[in-house]
Amino acid sequence: MVDYGDAAVDPFSIDNSMEPIRALVREIAETGVIPIVLGGDHSILWPDAAAMADVYGAGKVGVIHFDAHPDCSHDLFGHLTSHATPIRRLIEDEHVPGRNFIQIGLRSAIAPDDEMFDWMREHGLRAHFMAEIDRRGFDVVFQQAIDEALDGPEHLFVSLDIDVLDPAFAPGTGTPEPPGLTNRELLPAIRRICHETPVVGMDIVEVAPHLDPGYTTTMNARRAIFEALTGIAMRRKGLPGPDYLDPEVAGPPPGQQT
């Protein structure tokens, strides 16, 4: 594990910052290393996932996107590059097929609007709202999302907006939205997806520690990083799935207790 440093972003221009981020992530991925990129806001998904397509091929990387918001706006107050627009830029640039961009945890009270819904349908995006998760159960929805993201692509990128968590677990973010996932749902899912699927990169975004004096958000974001690294290590070690847990800490499976 190596801290590769910061991208040479322009503090006065989000537009000028996209290419340096993409170049740095691409440089890392070209070595075969799995980059875990820490934001920043969700605008960085565009260069992060585009870099994956640069390395592994356009259309060959699916995306699992954890978020309370769809982030598919055409623009934000006239600006095409923002935390509300990365998915539209990514898909319209044909880096990732819309049908393999899978969203989990959506529930925003203000979006998507009709125009955004129409665009999402037109490009084949598949979204799993919290209402569906409540009805069907997180594990069922999560497995379906994995299958959808890898229906064609050979690799997977994970984008985690911390506001997918309920504000009880992540109050320190710019646009918190109740009710969301719990950390007991999200964190094992991060470990599992990095263990059991061909994840080639990940980003974690929208963590705002100054909005959370109790550090709950930071602790959960940090734990998400640990879970991702653990899953990657488990995959490289060849540990079995699904949902492998060390019996020394998890105990025997149900029905096998003595």
CATH code of the domain in which 196 resides: 3.40.800.10
What pLDDT score does 195 carry? 97
Instruction: Determine the average pLDDT of the residues in 105-110.
Output: 85
Percent of the chain predicted with pLDDT > 70: 98
Beta carbons within 10 angstroms of residue 210's beta carbon: 6
Instruction: Determine the average pLDDT of the residues in 76-91.
Output: 89
**163 known member of a binding site:** yes
Structure-token match 């007991």, residue found: 184
Please check whether residue 77 lies inside any domain of the structure.
yes
Please check whether residue 70 lies inside any domain of the structure.
yes
Please check whether residue 227 lies inside any domain of the structure.
yes
Give me the sign of the Cα torsion angle 181, 3, 230, 60.
Answer: positive
**246 known member of a binding site:** no
Please check whether residue 250 lies inside any domain of the structure.
no
pLDDT at 141 > cutoff 90? yes
In the chain, helix, strand, coil percent, each to 5?
Answer: 45, 15, 40
161 lies in which domain range? 30-238
Structure-token match 């221009």, residue found: 13
pTM: 0.94
Instruction: Determine the average pLDDT of the residues in 4-20.
Output: 95
- What is the rounded CA–CA span in Å between residue 103 and residue 132? 12
- What is the rounded CA–CA span in Å between residue 160 and residue 97? 19
Q: pLDDT class for 111, splitting at 50, 70, 90?
A: low
What pLDDT score does 257 carry? 64
Q: What is the mean pLDDT of the chain?
A: 94
Instruction: Determine the average pLDDT of the residues in 109-137.
Output: 90
Please check whether residue 8 lies inside any domain of the structure.
no
**3 known member of a binding site:** no
**71 known member of a binding site:** yes
Beta carbons within 10 angstroms of residue 197's beta carbon: 19
What pLDDT score does 112 carry? 65
- What is the rounded CA–CA span in Å between residue 206 and residue 38? 9
Please check whether residue 257 lies inside any domain of the structure.
no
- Paired tokens of 164: 């997918």
Please check whether residue 192 lies inside any domain of the structure.
yes
Range list of β-strands (E), 83-198: 101-106, 126-129, 155-161
pLDDT digit string, tens, across residues 164-219:
999 999 999 999 999 999 999 999 999 999 999 999 999 999 999 999 999 999 99
- What is the rounded CA–CA span in Å between residue 30 and residue 61? 14
**147 known member of a binding site:** no
What pLDDT score does 78 carry? 84
Please check whether residue 91 lies inside any domain of the structure.
yes
pLDDT at 150 > cutoff 80? yes
Domain count, the chain: 1
**161 known member of a binding site:** yes
